[in-house]
Structure formats: C-alpha cells, structure tokens
Structure 1
Amino acid sequence: MEQEERAARRTRRRFARRQWARRWLSLRYVLALVLVIGLLATSVWLVFFSATLQVKRVEVVGNELLSDGRVREIADIPLGEQLALVDLGRADARVGSLAEVRSVDVSRTWPDVVRIQVVERTAVAVVELAGRLRGLDADGVVFRDYKAAPPGMPRVRPGGSAGTDALKEAATVVSALPEDLATRVDHVEVATVDQITLVMRDQRQVLWGSAEESELKAEVVDSLLAAARKAKVYDVSVPGNPTVR
C-alpha cells in the first residue's frame, strides 16, 4: 500500500510538472507577443511622434552655382517635420526643376537630417540670348549667366530660326571637340539643326553640318587644318568625303 501511495505521489508530481510546463509555454508566447507589440508601439511613437526623429537640419552638398539657401528654399522641407514623413520625391522634383541642376538625390540621414546631393550642369559653350551671355551645357540646356565668356570657351551664335533643338545640336558638336581644337574655335554659327559652322580664331570656317558623327568630324577637321593651312573653308559635313577651298 505504501509503495502504491509513493507511486501515486510521483505520478501526481509528474502530472503537475507537465501541466506547469504547458502553462509556461503558453505564457511565453503571450509574453513574447506583448513584447513585440510593445516594441512596435515604441517604434511607431519614435518614428512618427517623437521629437527625437524630427528634421533639425537640411544639408546641401555638391553645389557651387546655387547657394545652400536657394536649394533649401526650393526644396521646401520644413524643420520640425517627422523625418519619416518628409516627401523626398517632392523635394527632389522641386530642386531638379532648377536650370542649374543636372541631377539631384534627396535622402534621409537618421536621426534628424535631410541630405540634398546636387550635381550641377557644366558649361561647354556660351550663347548670347536676349542680350544676356548664358552658359550652355552638353545637353543643350541654357542654365547660367556670364559677365564675360570664360577664356577658351567657344561662343555659340544662333541664327534667327535656330530653336532649342539647334542649340542642343551645337552643344553636341562642341562637346565632341578635343580640347586643343575647342580652344581654337572663336564661335559656332547655328542656322538650323543641320547647318552648323565653326569659325576658327584665324577666321577659317569649318562647315560641320549636323551633329551626327561629330567625333569622326573632329578627327577629320584636325587633320585638314594642319594639312591645308591656306584654305579658308573646310567642309566635313560628309566626313568620309571632306573638301577644302
């Protein structure tokens, strides 16, 4: 009888331990769920409501033509806004609309900074429009003012019927010129998209035609100018069959 009672007590203890283990397993799941919910709630509060993650500074980098203040003004990112809620796409589009900006990247730098990385346009020529001397980049975009043309930079002179497409063609031509040849160009006359002429500093003229095969034309012109020094006009509009006169 005593042995049976001891066996029964052992059985009850084993049963109690199994019951407690099952209850503890269930309790662990509940505690883990409560912890996850608490972490999520804390994260939501930090990101969307806490002053810790509000915008305290807008950093502008890569700009020379544009001032930091001008970029910040156009980006229109309010200080004190939650960093997670800043509309980066809107700020990107606004800054990217500036003529001086070739590309821009607006990003968050945690915990409290918006960073605006600007790549500005680089002039390959100058063009006079409405009495103003403007910079022209390789994409044919007019984007800045000059008081005087920088030394060695070609000047583009558009004709009355030359539109934006013609300016883009002229920019493509100038961009294809080797540096030593570009510095010898006084100006580029642009009548239409396929009537582009280089006027050298010694007044020799190069009939370029359109911007097609500009790199090949540049090679041909360089050879012709050296070989036929007394000629006044060099026609490389068909680079495979150039002529001089």
Structure 2
Amino acid sequence: MAGPTTAERGARQQESSGPSRARRLWPPRPRIRTIVILAVLVVVTGGAAGWLLYGSDWLRVETVSVSGTRVLTPAQVREAADVPVGEPLISVDTEAIESRLKKKLPRIDVIAADRSWPDGISLEVTERTPVLLVQNGEKYGEVDKDGVRFATISRAVKGVPLLELAVSRSGSSAASLRRFGEDRLVREAVRVAGRVPDAVTRDARRVTVRSFDDISLELSGGRTVAWGSAEKSAGKARALTALMKAAPDARHFDVSVPTAPAVSGS
C-alpha cells in the first residue's frame, strides 16, 4: 500500500503544530478574581492616602517658620501671612499667602511660601534694599533699585543718600521736567544710585537731579561728582573709581563723559 503523499504529511504537521503555536503566541488571560483584588487594593490605597492627607491629625499645619528678615520681625511676617494653623497641610494655598504678604508688607521684595512636611509652612523673605531716601517733612521714604517707594521711616538710614529734586521751573530744566516728568527723573536718579561703586555709596550724602542730563552726587567732606545722565553708568562708575585712586585729594570729579573724566580742586 502506498504511504501518505507529501501534501497529506504537510497537512498533518500543520494540524499538530497549530494549537501549541497559538498557545505560545497568546499568553493566558488573567483571572477575573485577580483583577477584582487589584481594583479593590487601588481603591483602598487611594482612600487611605486621601484620609491621611485631609482627614488625619498627623499632616496638619502646626508651625510657621520665617527666615531672611532684616528690618521686619518674624512675628510681623507671621501675622501678615495669616497661615491657617490646624488646617490640612496639603490644602494650604501658598500662592495666596505670598500675595497677602506682598500686599500687607511692601518692604518684602520676594517671598517663597513652601510646605515643610509633615506639619509646617516655611516663609523665606527677601526684603527690599533702599538706594535713595526721599524726605517728606520730618519723615523719609525709602526707594529701592526699581524706583519703588516701599516704606516711610522717621530717621534717615545711614549709608543711603538723600534724593533732592532741584528742577527749575524755567529754562532747560523746565523743558526736561515737561518732557520726562518727575517720576522719570526720580527713576533716573535711582539708576545712578544703583550704579555708584559701593565704596562711594558709603560716603554719598545726596543725589541731586537738576535735569535728565544733570545728576550729581554730594559726598562727605564737601566733595562732589558730576554724573550727567544715567546712561553709560557702568563706564562712569569705573572712571570714578580710577579718578579717586589717582587723585584722592580732589574735591570735584566729573565723569559725565566717561571717556574723558576730569578732576579739580585739592
């Protein structure tokens, strides 16, 4: 009797290998009970985490720490921050705290309110630094490097020059005032004060503004510095430093043209 043909042998091999190959290609399906157990675990874990963050007494605000203050006191910052002590730490609105502090305490330049787990809020304060004082009667307004008048004090701060607006109502000074306005002239004086070398700032007594292009400094000992406008202030600062080293006994320094500085008096 003749054996199976080649086609018959191929068909038998395909039938015998088909199921095993399918089993290798398709992994077994997970059991329904396993899926249910995993789902229950997820729900229970999520509920426990939610209770821990919002319902338990372990993660509630108990302390408010303050750092970085110089003139302000930590007590002032805490009072203005009005942190909701006793509330869940996760629900505290730190952005609202920062906004509240900047509104109530203009002396604050930068404030960072952060959660300090497990039960605290930390407030890191950066205060504004005055570069000029504006006298108003017997009081002084502090002005920072951005031209912001942020506080009124009763005594002048040592090492911070007084701003004097000596703008005439006639002539070129009046034209400068009409063109730029008083606020712009104050900002220009602030720009100059912010560029004066530190060693000179300690000796500066007054910054006088007569026009946009005529700003001068009065130093201790009756010395004066003609600065000009606030333009090219970095070069003017370098020129002034060099002049003071070369002619320490001079009474008048002119850096209004930084490429051709001059001194006079001795």
Question: C-alpha distance in 1, partners of 2:68/2:76?
Answer: 13
- Can you give the 5+ residue segments of structure 2 that lack an aligned partner in the other structure? 1-27, 168-176
My pick for the range that moved more, 74-83 or 133-142, is 133-142
Question: C-alpha distance in 2, partners of 1:237/1:192?
Answer: 13
Contact 2:64–2:120 (8 Å) recurs in 1: yes
Verify: 1:77 aligned to 2:83, yes or no.
yes
- What is the Cα deviation at residue 147 of structure 1? 4.3
Select the residue among 105, 109, 119 that pairs with 1:102.
109
Verify: 1:124 aligned to 2:131, yes or no.
yes
Counterpart in the other structure of 1:217: 236
- What is the Cα deviation at residue 90 of structure 1? 1.2
Contact 2:224–2:251 (8 Å) recurs in 1: no
Counterpart in the other structure of 2:95: 89
Match for 2:59: what amino acid?
L
CA 1:238–1:78: 2 relative to 1, 3 Å:
same
Match for 1:101: what amino acid?
I
- Can you give the 5+ residue segments of structure 1 that lack an aligned partner in the other structure? 1-21
Contact 1:141–1:168 (8 Å) recurs in 2: no
Select the residue among 125, 136, 143 that pairs with 2:150.
143
- What is the Cα deviation at residue 187 of structure 1? 1.2
Contact 2:195–2:237 (8 Å) recurs in 1: yes
1:52 alignment partner, SS class? coil
Question: C-alpha distance in 2, partners of 1:93/1:99?
Answer: 11
Residue deviations 1:4-34 (CA, integer Å, cap 9, x gap):
xxxxxxxxxxxxxxxxxx8983322211211
CA 1:140–1:24: 2 relative to 1, 3 Å:
closer
Question: C-alpha distance in 2, partners of 1:114/1:180?
Answer: 39
- What is the Cα deviation at residue 108 of structure 1? 1.0
TM-score (norm 2): 0.71
TM-score (norm 1): 0.76
1:1-245 matches, within 5 Å, as 25-97=31-103, 98-159=105-166, 163-224=182-243, 226-227=246-247, 232=252, 234-242=253-261
Match for 1:110: what amino acid?
W
Contact 2:139–2:155 (8 Å) recurs in 1: no
- What is the Cα deviation at residue 174 of structure 1? 2.1
Contact 2:250–2:263 (8 Å) recurs in 1: no
Contact 1:128–1:156 (8 Å) recurs in 2: yes
- What is the Cα deviation at residue 211 of structure 1? 1.7
Question: C-alpha distance in 2, partners of 1:31/1:83?
Answer: 32
Match for 2:235: what amino acid?
L
CA 1:147–1:39: 2 relative to 1, 3 Å:
same
CA 1:36–1:202: 2 relative to 1, 3 Å:
same
My pick for the range that moved more, 124-133 or 95-104, is 124-133
Question: Identity percentage over the alignment?
Answer: 33
1:27 alignment partner, SS class? helix
